[in-house]
Amino acid sequence: MYSKILVPIDLSDVGHGKEIFRIAEKLLEPGGTITVLNVVEDIPGYVAAELPDAVVKDLSANAHTALEEATYGAGGNVKLEVRRGSPASAIVAAAEQLEVDLIIIASHSPGLADYFLGSTASRVVRHAKCPVLVDR
């Protein structure tokens, strides 16, 4: 059992995100906390310049709403967090700052099942300082 679990969800694969969230609920100690995280990737300046300001600003708000939908019905021990940056680095940094004792991550995007691990998952496994459970 674990007291602080981090569940990074890729919004292009919410189905698998919900599955890893359910695993976290099963592995959580009573009184523990699950943080569900989405990392909004930084848009290169030359792309952002072509987009309306509102679209760029709304990315984090939309991500938060998508996490609320993915965790609908969850208890008060679930926190939602949206960070910006590179997904793997932001996930590892969040795990350290929140002092989690487990990260649960999906192995790869749907359609890439021939790969053992996706690029984000493999970087998190390599760099995290806490245990990482990879769900296939």
The binding site for ligand ADP (CB under 6 A) comprises 8-10, 13, 16, 37-39, 87, 105-106, 108-109, 112, 118-121
- Closest CB to ligand ADP among residues 28, 40: 40
- Closest CB to ligand ADP among residues 8, 32: 8
In angstroms, give the least distance from the CB of 27 to ligand ADP.
15
Which residue has tokens 């609320």?
68
In angstroms, give the least distance from the CB of 121 to ligand ADP.
4
**CA-to-CA distance for 17 and 67, rounded, in angstroms?**
9
Length of the chain: 136
27 SS3 class: helix
78 SS3 class: strand
